[in-house]
Structure 1
């Protein structure tokens, strides 16, 4: 039978074991354990200092590269966009400073920045697809020909409003060969049958005005019928809320724009190439236009203009430092656009080659 003495002995044994454990923990095991912890802490501190030194070196290198880009950027980019009509498209959330910096760099390369079209938040809001679809059909001259989703249709119609030149059916016919007979006043009839550039521009302005009045875009400058190329600026970060849905809409919209206008570059910062970013989405879908994920600092802005120049020559690529890029910048570098001086036959020949490259880039046929 278990009595009180048994319980007393058990309790004493338990406390004795605890005492021995405390003694062992504070004497025999203390030094090895502390030495191990101190060694690991010292290693981590050393690694942290090495990483900090590498970060500081990278920051200084990037700052030096930016200063170099500022110093020689204009010389590197000279005439790369000579007389190219450029329209900038700002996605919802695009950084205003980045947009302004890219416009300045493009102008330094000789581009004529005709205007800016900023997409409002309402453009990609949930439940707005029906309105976008209806508006695209209302402003279209050939609504029966529009295909795809609402944002594909909107991209086509806005692209037609921005693109330089008349539609194929209203282009100037080829001049008759020398010596060929021509009916009386035939030239005058043909000329009167074509809509004037002014009328065509007014129609394009009406399309832009309809989207602006609908609260979907805001317009600066005079971008109607002025775009030889497009620069689309991605949001500064991943869109809040339904980011995947918004990126899908914007990717389809930009694809429709590029297929309608021609040479197009989607530019943004490194965050736009990260998970949930618009550039990452475009690369995943193998979009038919160039991308740059280092815009927003002088070096990246130079790369963006080179990407535009390459697109005008028919070369597409993904440039920057993110996953899936083809290189940091186009290789080989695109050349300058030659002068159209009629007294310079070499310039005329070069200009003709570049015009052919532009038509190929925009899908036009000879």
Structure 2
């Protein structure tokens, strides 16, 4: 059940985000989508008062959010990487929010079940070793662990540290072809640019140490190649969920984490966190983030 603390955190996020927009300057209004369902399964029905409170909070954020995010990602592109089980409505709402902030989504890269399955580690390790030798020698650390290495390889193909982004080159296409050809990632359509920002959207929480280690390695690897990485999950992913456990891993220092993207406030916070990540790595934000509901610096 949605708690009063959740409502309070959401409301705080709204006004902190609005305050940031006033201080830094907001642009013209645009539409922000409504609340979407979470990927964590069905919840118990909320009492009428809680439901009305939730609807009101979402309406306030939807009304104030556009002015807060407008122009925040102007002339910036974002590569969206999804973990298996990521909620389609959430991913769509996040990509729309990037557009509302003036940014573009360079491409969406959907990781496959095999890539995050601890039982397929041998396949991931073999492919990573081959690609390191064939395409990424000198670009990827030779002593990187299995999932850090594949994360760096994917990062090399989809991202860049150049704030303006870079054109996709032959090396990037070869890596994407190899990873998708091995069944570890769905091949996207035509992609023209590698992005400075990566938004990694969480999916199904397997709830085991093996999967947690895989996520930590992937996040760390992506961060080694991108200007900024934001790992985002729904509200249930925070606290004791997978995002909460990632925050306890040293690898999380290289990325920003955000829970609550199943709410309008969380999607506004996503844009602010992406913007911050261009200059400042790290930070834990969202409904259970230790650094507050939204970044203001």
Relative to the length of structure 1, the TM-score reads 0.62
Higher helix share: 1
Q: 2:128 aligns with which of 128, 132, 136?
A: 136
Q: What residue is the counterpart of 2:52 in the other structure?
A: 60
Unmatched runs of 5 consecutive residues or more in structure 1: 1-51, 167-196, 333-366
Looking at CA atoms only, which structure, 1 or 2, has the larger radius of gyration?
A: 1
Instruction: From 159, 167, 178, give the equivalent of 1:210.
Output: 178
Instruction: Say whether residues 1:284 and 2:266 are aligned partners.
Output: no
Please name the residue that 1:321 is paired with: 287
Q: CA deviation at 1:128?
A: 1.3
**What residue number does 1:158 align with?**
154
Q: 1:238 aligned to 2:196?
A: no
Q: Supply the distance in 2 between the matched residues of 1:123 and 1:154 (Cα, whole angstroms).
A: 9
CA offsets 1:183-223 (integer angstroms, 9 cap, x no match): xxxxxxxxxxxxxx87x612211110111111100133445
How many angstroms apart in 2 are the aligned matches of 1:164 and 1:76?
27
Asked if 1:90 corresponds to 2:74, the answer is no
Question: How much is the aligned-residue C-alpha RMSD, in angstroms?
Answer: 2.4
**What CA deviation, in whole Å up to 9, does each residue of 1:295-333 have, x standing for no partner?**
0222211111111111123153211222x521111124x
Is 1:303 aligned with 2:269? yes
Q: Give the alignment of 1:2-17 within 5 angstroms.
A: none
Deviations 1:33-71 (A, max 9, x none): xxxxxxxxxxxxxxxxxxx9x954443232222112222
1:268 alignment partner in structure 2? 233
For the residue of structure 1 that corresponds to 2:102, the secondary structure is coil
Question: Contact 1:116–1:223 at 8 Å: present in 2 too?
Answer: no
Secondary structure, in 3 states, of the residue corresponding to 1:94?
coil
Assess if the C-alpha contact under 8 Å between 1:164 and 1:225 holds in 2: no
> Structure 2: where are the runs of 5+ without partners?
1-43
SS in 1 for 2:169: helix
Task: Provide the rounded CA distance (Å) in 2 between the counterparts of 1:309 and 1:267.
Answer: 14
Q: How many residues align?
A: 244
Structure 2 CA distance, aligned partners of 1:72 and 1:220? 34
Q: Is the 8 A contact 1:98 1:295 kept in 2?
A: yes
- TM-score w.r.t. length of structure 2: 0.75
Q: Which runs of 4+ in 1 moved over 6 A?
A: none
With a CA cutoff of 8 Å and minimum separation of 6, indicate the structure with the bigger relative contact order.
Answer: 2
